[in-house]
């Protein structure tokens, strides 16, 4: 059993499930904030649909990572964990693109830190 992989999966599961939960419980506030954040970009009129896509990606990532941590701990199988880490990378690339588009370089730097951890998870679980 790889404890490091389990810890990475738990970290990613908490990150994405909590983020998805925040979007669901404060949808209006998130749309308002992001509409301003992306007001100078070509996605300014697509904020609600972009946020919905991100929410779906986050929930898929988080659920797969949680299931993967359980699966890896219970029977040393990596299937769900691997796909959870891959989905996490895709989700973070989506977020990185948006941050760079908005010229939010500090936000992009933060996403990069999460991405490094997610790629490490893909590497360990492949």
Distance CA 63, CA 56 (A): 11
pLDDT tens column, 23-56:
999 999 999 999 999 999 999 999 999 999 999 9
pLDDT at 112: 97
Per-residue HEC secondary structure of 12-81 comes to: HHHHHHHHHHHHHHCHHHHHHHHHHHCCCCCCCCCHHHHHHHHHHHHHHHHHHHHHHHHHHHHHCCCHHH
What pLDDT, on a 0 to 100 scale, did the predictor assign at position 1?
Answer: 61
Rounded Cα–Cα distance for residues 79 and 70 (Å): 11
The values of phi and psi at residue 2, to 5°, are -100, 100
Q: Is the pLDDT of residue 59 over 80?
A: yes
Token pair for 81: 């964990």
CA 40 – CA 102 distance, rounded (Å): 7
- 61-91 per-position pLDDT tens digit: 999 999 999 999 999 999 999 999 999 999 9
pLDDT tens digit string along 92-119? Answer: 999 999 999 999 999 999 999 999 999 9
């Amino acid at each position: 059993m790889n404890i490091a992989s389990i810890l990475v999966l738990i970290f990613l599961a908490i990150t994405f499930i909590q983020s998805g939960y925040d979007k669901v419980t404060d949808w209006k506030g998130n749309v308002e904030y992001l509409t301003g954040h992306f007001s100078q970009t070509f996605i300014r009129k697509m904020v609600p649909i972009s946020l919905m896509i991100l929410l779906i990606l986050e929930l898929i990532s988080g659920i797969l990572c949680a299931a993967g941590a359980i699966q890896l701990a219970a029977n040393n199988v990596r299937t769900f964990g691997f796909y959870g880490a891959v989905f996490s990378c895709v989700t973070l690339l989506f977020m990185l693109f948006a941050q760079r588009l908005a010229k939010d370089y500090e936000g992009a730097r933060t996403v990069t830190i999460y991405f490094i951890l997610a790629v490490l998870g893909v590497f360990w679980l492949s």
